[in-house]
Amino acid sequence: MNRFLQRSLLSGPPLLYLLVFFLLPTLIMVVVSFGWPGEQGGLAPLWLRDAQGFHLDLTLDNYADFVSTTLYLRLLAKSFWYAVLTTLICLVMAYPLAMLIAKSDKRHRNLMVLLVILPFWSNFLIRVYAWMIILGPQAGLSQALNGVLALFGWGPVSLLFSPFAVLVGLVYVHLPFMILPLYANLEKHDPGLMDAARDLGANRWQCFWRVTFPLSLPGVLAGSALVFIPALGAFAVPDILGGTGGIMIGNVIKMQFLEARDWPFGSTLSIVLTLFALGVTGIAAWLVRRRGGSYV
């Protein structure tokens, strides 16, 4: 009993927090997605009163609007590819770095981890705006690139306001979320495993591919989820760096709550996005589990 009390005291507050600030809002959003938009914004009353008394006034209209055109599915697909590319690039960039940190001297590790999270000390928007200057047409990067292109007789390209800029921004913002779980995983690997693998005749590549990588799959999965899900719903980065083509589903959801003052449709889009993200991460976890066997 005492043990039970202890456990509930410890797990109670975080559970309550998640219940009140995650589950409840999500349920509210589910309900709102079946409501009508208010004439001046917000939500129309969910209950109607007529001769038969009070009754619920819900609709499937919002979902019907969602599927009545391929527009929103194309938008979701576009956001999906941006998120997948961001995740893959982050993974390829973060893995060697996480390994380097994990294998370096214990005294330096904390400093290196600190350096990875150092960007968080400044505001997210300021860091994204900084990319606007770095990629701008007057900056050295664009000038140098276009100088080289001119040598081959190719016309100048614009780095800023392009899908490339959106990808750069997304990777930059999410990279630490890939590095940290990977590092946390790789750091725990027993160095003895490498010795054993080498003793059994594995070369370096085999050591990595058949021992280290499978063991790190939980870290890869955690990092990928931490990057993929927020990247899928990103709206500030495409807004600032994307130019005329920079729109993702996050921007359209934001638009429903601001310009369109249409909470029900915004909720519908959010629910679809949540289900989609859950589906994709679920499938990814299942695939990894199947291939990774007992490691995960």
Partner 1 sequence: MNKLLAAMLLFLAPVAFAGDVLHIYNWNNYIAPETLARFKEQCRCRVAYDTYGSNDELLAKLAAGAKGYDLLVPSGNAVESLLKQQALQAIDKKLLTNLKNINPSFLNSSFDRGNVYSIPYAYTTTLIGYNEDKIRQLGIPVNTWAAIFDPIYLAPMKGRVTVLDDQRELMAAALKYLGYSVNDGDEAHWRQAADVIMKAKPYWAAFMNTGYIRLLSTGDIWLVHGYSNDMFQANDAAIKAGKGIRISYTAPREGAVLALDSMVIHKDAPRADLAHQFINFMLEGRNAAELTNLTGSGSPNLDAMQYIRAGIVRNEGIFPGKQVLDKLEQLQDLDRRKRRLLSRLWTEIKLSP
Which residues of the shown chain bind partner 1 in the complex (CB under 8 A)?
36-42, 65, 69, 71-72, 74-75, 78, 136-138, 158, 161, 243-245, 247, 251-252, 255-262, 265
CB 271 to partner 1: min, Å: 17
Write the DSSP string, 134-182: HSSTTSHHHHHHHHHHHHTTPPP---SSSHHHHHHHHHHHHHHHHHHHH
Of 20 and 100, the one with the shorter C-beta distance to partner 1 is 20
Of 219 and 238, the one with the shorter C-beta distance to partner 1 is 238
C-alpha span between 39 and 56 (Å, rounded): 18
CB 74 to partner 1: min, Å: 6
- Sign, CA torsion 56/57/59/62: negative
- 288 by DSSP, 3-state: which? helix
Going from the C-alpha of 10 to that of each of 4, 7, 146, the distances in angstroms are: 10, 5, 59
Of 228 and 263, the one with the shorter C-beta distance to partner 1 is 263
C-alpha span between 45 and 200 (Å, rounded): 71
Give percent helix, percent strand, percent coil of the chain, each to the nearest 5: 75, 5, 20
Of 39 and 105, the one with the shorter C-beta distance to partner 1 is 39
Measuring CA to CA, which residue among 191, 227, 204 is closest to residue 91?
A: 227
CB 55 to partner 1: min, Å: 21
Of 85 and 93, the one with the shorter C-beta distance to partner 1 is 85
CB 143 to partner 1: min, Å: 13
C-alpha span between 197 and 34 (Å, rounded): 57
CB 252 to partner 1: min, Å: 5
- The letter for the amino acid at 252 is V
CB 30 to partner 1: min, Å: 19
Of 176 and 250, the one with the shorter C-beta distance to partner 1 is 250
